[in-house]
Amino acid sequence: MSLRRNMQAYKNADRDAAAESENPHALIAVLFDELLRHMRIFVSEIEAGSIGKDASSEHFSRSLTILYGLQSSLNFEQGGDIANNLFRLYEYARQQLLAAMRQREVGGTMAAIDALENIRDAWREIDGRVAK
């Protein structure tokens, strides 16, 4: 088995363990990691010119699906302003992905990735505190 396949198997096992875990923080962290991974690959596809005007991208679709999942998991009653702000961030990221697909310009998507990375890092910090 190649190193690349070993690394992918390790990542899949980690992701599967988080999904089966009773720790919702771990699952959200995995969703963020997957979202960021797919968004980055989508950006690189656009930069490489490998997506034509009428073509679709698996990574574009997966990014949108994960964003929808994150948006639909928000609890606005308990989350208050935090949930509202996260919803707006997810919506911003969604809009930037759509714009990138239409216009082949990735600046907004890169800004969304940066913002999502900050949230992911904060989420991991929260998860670390919850685990203790």
CATH number of the domain that residue 118 is part of: 1.20.120.340
- Which pLDDT value is given to residue 18? 43
Residue 12, in any domain of the structure? no
Residue-level pLDDT at 106: 96
What pLDDT, in 10s, does the model give residues 15-49?
444 444 567 778 888 999 999 999 999 999 999 98
Residue 5 lies in a domain: no
Task: State pLDDT tens for residues 75-109.
Answer: 999 999 999 999 999 999 999 999 999 999 999 99
Complete DSSP assignment for 37-105: HHHHHHHHHHHHT-S-TT---HHHHHHHHHHHHHHHT--HHHHHHHHHHHHHHHHHHHHHHHHHHHH--
**Residue 6 domain flag:** no
Nearest to 39 by CA among 97, 111, 88, 95: 97
> How many domains are contained in the chain?
1
| pLDDT band, residue 127 (cuts 50/70/90) | low
Residue 34 placed within a domain = yes
Mean pLDDT of the chain: 83
> What is the residue type of 81?
D
Q: How confident is the model at residue 54 (pLDDT cuts 50, 70, 90)?
A: low
pLDDT of residue 27: 84
- What is the share, in percent, of the chain residues with pLDDT greater than 90? 61
pLDDT at residue 8 greater than cutoff 80: no
- Containing structural domain, residue 82: 24-131
> Is the pLDDT confidence value at 5 over 80?
no
Residue 60 above 80 pLDDT? yes
| Residue 105 forms part of a structural domain | yes
